[in-house]
Structure 1
Amino acid sequence: MAFEDAPPVDLLDSAFMADPGPGYADLHRTEPVTRVQLRPGLNPWLITGYDVAKWVLSDPLFSVDPASTEEPVRAAIAVGRAEEKTALLGRHLLSVDPPDHTRMRRLMSRALTARRMLQLQGPVEAFAEAQLDTLAGRADFDVLGEYALPLAVEVICELIGIPAADRQMFKDWGALLVRAELQDDASFDRAADEMAGYFVPLLAARRKEPADDLVSALVSAHDEEHLDDYELISLVYQLFFAGHESSAYLITNATLRLLSHPDERAALERDPAQIEPLIEEVLRVDGPVKVPTWRFPVRDVELCGRKLRAGEPVLVLLGATGRDPRRFPDPDRFAPDRFESTRAAAQQHLAFSHGIHHCMGAAVGRMEGRVGVARLFARHPELRLAWAPEELRWRDNLMMRGVCELPVLVRE
């Protein structure tokens, strides 16, 4: 199928993966709603403008439930890339609409209390230091694979309530899922099945003997909220899948930004408090989530002069919304002082989505980013890239933005 309004960029092109800025600029010179062809049978609408994206992400007219689209579209998603089909894996917050979403989010809100998230600050700092200890004496290491990813897995396991003895399994699963496009489908499916299977006895154990963790909080509210075990397992699985990957890439993307921009690094060294606005600006310019879960209009709708039919797949390109010049003047300029405060930044960029599907772990993700980056540079002020920036390999991934590895040198 040919599209007369085909976007001027290929979302899966390696050059676009490495440097999306020029592609985003081209998109913003066209319409904020256009078509893209991912493969035969999957021709989603692409939302690139900030204002229309914010509306699509928050309006109940756009469903996240794959059942809202036609079977051929679901089939085209199911045979595609691993990251594209996560919405088809179970029933969780990113794949259901109200009233089921309301019920699940209310339950998750009671489990993800402010107290529980505040209590993570100390463990996150300890996990960062412990992971850096494992790299002590090394002349080089991979920031993503040997620091950010293990740290992110430790944090999400601590939150969920995974016993320390079992966390290496989750690190192995996490490493495989993060590099899903480098694996065959069988490996991805096997890891997903093994992880889901792990949660069955864990739920049973927490029912019998609750602990101070998220799984216990979910299980204790099970009867009140009328969630079945399948929904509970899907909730916990989705929390791990979405939480560890995005946090690992936030830390890695921020590290790469500092390593390749000496002025920004020097500013952070002069004033460590600048880590907060810096992380917010990384989220705007180089956020780890390029595209949230699929949207499907529940009825025919017109957007910016385009007519979308009910059930047609829609992708919101979050990376493009962060560089919309109509919202952010001089959008490619990295400026941590762009906003008056971190809170103001959080109210404007859409890196954690928007509306009822706004990321519930945003506060934890931000904290992981701040702690992970600050501790890394505090321990290794001499850190430098082992490869030239243009030599880095970027993930061939539609939904997430990040490198395959980030090799650094610790000393001469």
Structure 2
Amino acid sequence: MADRVTTPPAAASWLAIPPGHPFGLATLPYGVFHTAALPTARVGVAIGEFVLDLNAAMNELAPDLAGLVAVGSLDVLLAAGPSAWQRVRESITTWLSEPSYRSRVLPHLIPVDDVLMHVPFTVADYVDFYASEQHATNLGRMFRPDQEPLTSNWRHLPIGYHGRSGTIVASGRDIVRPSGQRRTPTGEIVFGPSTRLDIEAEIGFVVGTSSTLGEPVGLEDFSRHVFGVCLVNDWSARDIQAWEYVPLGPFLGKSFATSISPWIVPLAALGDARVGPPDRSVPLLGYLDDAEAEPWGLDIRLEVRLNGWLVSSPPFAGMYWTGAQMLAHLTANGASLRTGDLYASGTISGERADQRGSLIELSWGGSEPLSLPDGSTRTFLEDGDEVVITATAPGPGDSVIGFGEVRGRIVARDR
């Protein structure tokens, strides 16, 4: 991997934020919230244990920028582009670091426990990739034990599929167990609730500025179009997927729900998390060749908890394909980007057994049940199970960049 990009330590805030807090001044993630006292959706920025009401703060301190956050979503800010993103971030950093702004900012800080979070932007298109070599290899060994685990095209291009943007849901929303067709071990074709419901721990990339139909987006333009990063849990019904995916790929086994974290961490916060991609054994075609390009691997460290217990720690730094390459391939045929497009990495898995980002890997297809500290075991999710995915990345100096969490609990269908 290439050397890590480093930046000077972040300025200190006049707020009493403990060192190493994931939502310190170096992070400043964006979200959309409401409270009992403020029932209309508003744009906010997380800082320590507070949320800065950006609508109110902008109206008072930077009225020329207030229109970027006035609509109760991130949509206008996303579409405004990198110059506007930089101006807004610099303004917020100044307000929270210079003591002269303290008295004017304090009234707009809301305790984080008082807010209810929304999906922070209007999701346009959704694409899910398959970018982890370890994950793809593990599934290949399970499903094709007598063949090479990776398909012949896997190291040549980022494989992905188009998902269903209308079923992107906010962290904390219950996930209703999906029903569909499946084939039983005895070969019977039945319809009913999935019996092999799974998780996929992923990183999502949020597109800000659009592109023109017919014009591909190159590797060098990644940061002009992508605003930031969030956490994704792409819930997967493995039994429904296994029966339906030949020959066209994922459909009902994937489209019932995808949860995202409420906080979008801007790319500007991830300078110190940038690393080079792993060594690649297959030469890449020009539009994907990043050997001389800016490094866009990201040292993001995820943790997956099932019912409160840590079951996996997937490392994003080892992903074979970077976010920049995924975007370049997504648009290589001239497909256009829209503000609010979301594309995800696919399951993140590392080389060790405790770094696998899905239950199908952790239980090896159900043949090796996962033991939990309470004495229970899991192969796949049961009703009532709650999954929480969190992540951090290195920031300037000793700071930590946090991504919040994406949380979801499985409930039975009531009919």
TM-score band w.r.t. shorter chain = under 0.3
Q: More relative contact order in 1 or in 2 (CA 8 Å, sep 6+)?
A: 1
Higher strand share: 2
TM-score by length of 1: 0.26
TM-score by length of 2: 0.26
Higher helix share: 1
